[in-house]
């Protein structure tokens, strides 16, 4: 990605895929994908790493990070930041949504903000801001915690 071979041969880039990483099907990616399909709650990269190890599928922590990053870029997983660390989760809805997350076990419920996006856009415009983005997450303790 940083270095380029001297040859002027154009990289094998088809039209569809924007040369994102994470193309190749590997055992590690499969393991992470499978785990994410299983665990319906937000988890840190380190937790995912531990869970994989517990499950016998040992994957390097760096790979976990790299894969999650790629999946996040491909919008296959949702990422939220909480207290300095990032939490990952495979979400069901592909539409814009927010989360109600248990701050103890990570149990998550997807929620939709009632008109938050429009509200944010309107408010931004009012104050001369453009390119408005919003962060909205709810945290609490679920009934099991």
Residue with tokens 């990570």: 106
Applying CB under 8 A, the span of 2-10, 15-23, 42-50, 134-142 interacting with a copy of itself comes to 134-142
43 burial (CB, 10 Å; 0-12 / 13-18 / 19+) is buried
* 119 near a copy of itself, judged by CB under 8 A: yes
Query: What residues have CB less than 8 Å from 50, skipping those under 6 apart?
Result: none
22-29, long-range: CB < 8 A, 24+ apart = 22/67, 22/70, 22/71, 22/73, 22/74, 27/57, 28/57, 28/59, 28/60, 28/63, 28/67, 29/67
Query: Per CB under 8 A, does 118 bind a copy of itself?
Result: no
Contact flag: residue 123 with a copy of itself (CB under 8 A): yes
Pairing of strands 43-44, 85-89: antiparallel
Residue 111 binds to a copy of itself (criterion: CB under 8 A)? yes
Q: Which of 14, 100, 105, 118 binds a copy of itself (CB under 8 A)?
A: 100
Min dist. Cβ of residue 118 to DNA (A):
31
Query: Residue 40's binding partner, choosing from a copy of itself, DNA, none, with beta-carbon cut-off 5 to 8 A by kind?
Result: none
Residue 10 DSSP label: P
* Residues that bind DNA in the complex, under the rule CB under 7 A: 1-3, 5, 9, 11-12, 21-29, 44-46, 58-63, 65-67, 69, 84-86
82 forms bridges with which residues in the sheet? 85
Residue number, 19 or 136, with CB nearest to a copy of itself: 136
Question: Which residues make up the interface to a copy of itself (CB under 8 A)?
Answer: 81-84, 100, 102, 109, 111, 114, 119-120, 123-124, 127-143
């Amino acid at each position: 990605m940083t270095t380029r071979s001297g040859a002027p041969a154009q990289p094998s880039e088809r039209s569809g895929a924007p040369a994102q990483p994470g193309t190749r099907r590997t055992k590690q990616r499969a393991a992470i994908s499978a785990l994410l399909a299983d665990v319906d709650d937000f988890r840190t990269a380190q937790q995912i790493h531990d869970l994989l190890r517990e499950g016998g599928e040992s994957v390097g922590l760096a790979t976990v990070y790299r894969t999650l990053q790629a999946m996040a870029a491909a919008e296959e997983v949702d990422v939220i930041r909480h207290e300095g660390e990032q939490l990952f989760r495979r979400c069901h809805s592909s539409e814009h949504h927010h989360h109600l997350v248990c701050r103890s076990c990570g149990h998550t419920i997807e929620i939709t903000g009632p008109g938050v996006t429009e509200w944010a856009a309107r408010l931004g415009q009012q104050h001369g801001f453009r390119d408005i983005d919003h962060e909205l997450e709810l945290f609490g303790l679920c009934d099991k915690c």
